[in-house]
Chains A and B, each alone.
Chain A
Amino acid sequence: MASSKPPASPSPGGPEAGFGGRMPSRGTFRRWRTWLEDLPWLLPAVAFVLLFSLLPLLDVFSQAWTFGHGVRGVIFLLRSNNVLGRATREALGNSLEQGVLSAGLASLWGVPVGVFLARNRFPGRDLLLAFLLVPFLLPVLVVVLGVQELFTCPAQGACTGFLSSLWPVLGALGSGLPGILTVNVFYNTPMVALFTVAGIGQSSPAIEEAVATLGGGPWRAFRDAWGKHALVGGATGALLTFLFSFLSFAPPLILGQYSNWTIEDWIYSLFQLRSTVVSPDLAVAVSLWTVLFLLGPSLLYVLLARHARLFGGTPRPVRTVRLGARSWRALPFLAASAALVGFVAVMIASVLVGSFVVSSGTTLTSARLGTGNWLLLFSPRTTQALGGTSTVGAILNTVFFAVVVTLLLLLVALAAGYARLRHPHVGSLVDLMSFVPMLVSPVILALALWLFYYGTLYVPAFLWVLIVGAQAGLALPFVLETISLALRSHSRYPREAAQTLGARRFRAFLDADVPMAKEALIAGALFAFALSLGEFTATNFLYTPAYTTLVVEMYVLGLNHFSATAPGAAAAIGALLVVISLAAFYIILGVGRRGHGRG
């Protein structure tokens, strides 16, 4: 029966008879063994991040630093009064201006929308929250095209935009700085709203209820219960908006003039001019300085997001108020939200309708509806303009890249998720590393990949590997966060139950954790697919005609100031990409609902 031990005498160390020998301390040894056993599961994520972002970036930057270009070159450039110096200073100023203005506008609009959505209960609220993801899924070129479709108003001739032809004053939003800001605000306002919602989700409804029962009114509840969380969420979103807009590439390139170019556009131009006008290292040097300049805001963003638990925190049930006829206080917030939804909807509609508008004159009234743009898309003229690749070829390239990127990211995210469950600290490190590509911008990443792999992977046969690496690296943070968050938010007990029932660790992970994160896996895969589909900046940097994708084709045919020979075909591609993005959104929405339904 029982070991006969006198009561109230805790074992002083335990008799060892029958067990043989002294008992070694095995904690450390076992931890190391577990580490080694799990190393293979960490490798895909670590190898991917090392090969396609960290190593190329470190190599390029160390070269820039070592040879003095990073220090003397850029200081000289910034101080010099020649064309290059002036242009660099102007690009830096434009980046700052666009970053600050975009962040301010997106916050002014996004925070009230976030507050409204987080604090009010009404039919369709969840759908509306999900709808805010749509701009994120749309390729940037489609948004640029949408702005043109809505607001085009050339300096000479009549306005041809859907809205500017009705109200010419809106034509100012179709180009230059206002046009760039319109695109940035379109992209980032929903994000600021979602960050605000996530921030409020971290506030305690119990504290708010305590404030109310102690006699505090709405202002007190805001000040003492949820306001701080809302502002932290909004500020985090604003900071990310600043980073994205500072590093914006396509909108200034297409909608602006040279005088609107950001530092990203300037680095790209320096790279394009490398062998003719400037030293090839100049682009690298400016990149290094850009990264150093943004290191502070980037780290602040990561710290803020982690501190506010905007990622990985467990959202609490937020205290909401049912929206009714007497909710007059919510009216301004409601108006801001309706305007945002309307803005997104009108932008999408304009791209879809624009693909069927065949212009035969300079005014909108002279345009007619037809399928001419779609026919043009598949014509030999288009193939010729693309340097020999047809639209079908571009579609095949796009799908190929998107499928490979999706599969690669799923593999990496699953491996990282598994490793993260087993070793949270290592997982955090992998997470942090995976954010690097997002914070260094697509142009700088593409430049680093080009320089690091020039002569090895940057050859026709392997160029697709580089494009896949760049696209996957840029999408990795979003996919990893989606999947990793889902894996972490489930109970570990089913996995442990599987282990006690005889399953090995990885089998237990596959049988218990993966099915529970199925919805997130599908959502992550669709994110990867949609982001790869719409990735323009890095792809445009690296591609050769044989690897033309749909967004690159769209740029070449309709949006590039120099090569735009078939803007109608670009409109058709834009509509095609919108349909694919909306389909991805619809599937993500359906998957999310099914997940909620299961509770």
Chain B
Amino acid sequence: MGEGEREGDGERERDAPGYLEVRGLVARYPEFRLGPIDLSVGKGETLVVLGPNGSGKSTLLRLLAGLEPVERGRIRLAGRDITDLPPHRRSVGMVFQDLALFPGKTVWDNLTYGLVVQRWSRQEAEKRGEELLRDFHLSFLAERLPSEISGGERQRVALARALAPRPSLLLLDEPLSSADPRHARELRGEIKGYLRAAGTPAIYVTHDFDEGFFLAQRMALLREGRWVQEGPAEEVFDRPSDPFVAWFLGYNVLPKPASHHGTVAVLPEEVRLCDPGASGALEGVVESRGETGSQIRMFVRLSTPAGPLGAGREESPLLELLLPRGGAGAGTPAVGTKVHLRFERTVELPQDLPPNGFKRGFASGESGGP
């Protein structure tokens, strides 16, 4: 299956919109509801779904794969409605969080499993298997068991296995969550390469913003089962749509100074130390600081009483700063020192922060907004 379809794959087809179309997808569980979700993924496109733990990212993938029943909504893939099809008839490949390799089967048997159960001819299956071994640099591991190869090699086997039957859609459920940070960085580069080479549309789920941003052509954020923002990755990053998105993407989020409504979001790299007299400078006290390789990370408790900043709250906002070790970061103040800050760039958002505190509000699902 799918052989001819993949052969004819070209740039024009890859850019065609809506290869995967999801409309009004809803799933209900005793303590959780996902959706309604609308999304579309073009051919050859990688959509990264970001969200905190428990936001429904993995559930979304399981619904698309047919592993969980859909309560309501439609899923259309490559022109056919797959909403009611069982997983084995969907042509949706999936890489699981724990990779889910068959422990008793060799690398070769794992790779060709999908081809065997989908009844590819022996010749074709062997040809495809050899091709995957070569492309994923696994040739010398073909006869080994998953327990006999490294974590990175297992990741490659899992990805190759999912791609083997040439699925119409590939789902990746935090496949790097168990890898150590160094290997995860290397592997994400490899995965991007493989996805580009395969040309298979993919949905990649992660809670790691760096990882997601690296892999994404488009990005979507989920929060408590709801789509919060979706768009091209750069656009989402540069223009977060609400305080939650900004906070999740690593922005400092604080009430808009000198205003009774709204918030401002500012990246840690875009907060600068300045003179007390500078226009719009905010005052604060350094609470802690530490070096992180090439940068200095500093946390400053704001003490500026201007506007509603801090009004009605138990404590003033805490701002994170990232300063280069040399240059602007040279001679950074010690803990307990009073400092003044200015923002190089801010994103203004119309919503308020949750009244009961920033993180508590988000964690409990309270939303700000006028």
Contact = CB atoms under 8 A, between A and B. Distances in A.
Interface in A544-599: 598-599
B71 A502 contact: no
Nearest to A497: B100
Contacts of A30: 69-70, 84
Given A1-B45, A496-B96, A8 B24 contact: no
Contact of A2 (B74, B102, B118, B218): B218
Interface stretch (A41-49, A121-129, A509-517): A509-517
**Interface size of B as a range:** 35 or more
A512 B147 CA distance: 16
B38 A11 contact: yes
Contacts of A15: 23-24, 38
Nearest to B369: A8
B339 interface: no
A500 B162 contact: yes
A18 B23 contact: yes
A15 B40 CA distance: 12
Contact of A7 (B87, B114, B230): B230
Contact of A8 (B27, B36, B241): B241
Contacts of B165: 501-502
The dominant DSSP class at the A interface is loop
A598 B96 CA distance: 21
A503 B88 contact: yes
Nearest to A10: B226
Contacts of A26: 69-72, 84
B228 A10 contact: yes
A494 B241 contact: no
Given A3-B40, A7-B231, A14 B73 contact: yes
B241 A27 contact: no
A592 B39 CA distance: 48
Contact of B69 (A27, A496, A497): A27
B161 interface: yes
Contacts of B232: 2
Contact of A3 (B38, B93, B102, B229): B38
A390 B98 CA distance: 58
Given A27-B28, A501-B161, A598-B103, A511 B74 contact: no
Nearest to A31: B69
Contacts of A493: 96-100
A19 B88 contact: no
Nearest to B220: A2
Interface string B1-43: 0000000000000010110010111011000000111111010
B76 A491 contact: no
Interface string B59-83: 0000001110111111010000100
B42 A1 contact: yes
A2 B88 contact: no
A503 B117 contact: yes
Given A2-B231, A30-B69, A515 B104 contact: yes
A16 B69 CA distance: 19
Contact of B36 (A14, A18, A516): A14
B354 to A, nearest CB: 15
Contacts of A13: 24, 36
A507 B114 CA distance: 12
A23 interface: yes
Interface in A467-514: 491, 493-494, 496-505, 507-508, 511-512
Interface in B76-126: 76, 81, 84, 86-88, 90, 92-94, 96-105, 113-114, 117-118
Interface string B317-345: 00000000000000000000000000000
A322 interface: no
A48 to B, nearest CB: 28
Contacts of B211: none
Interface in B152-177: 161-162, 164-165, 167, 171
A24 B117 contact: no
Given A10-B36, A26-B70, A501-B164, 8 more contacts: A494-B102, A497-B100, A497-B162, A498-B102, A500-B67, A500-B92, A501-B117, A516-B104
27 contacts: A1-B17, A1-B42, A3-B38, A7-B236, A7-B239, A8-B229, A15-B24, A18-B23, A23-B24, A27-B27, A27-B71, A30-B69, A493-B99, A494-B101, A494-B103, A496-B87, A496-B100, A497-B101, A500-B90, A500-B92, A500-B167, A500-B171, A501-B117, A501-B118, A501-B165, A505-B86, A598-B147
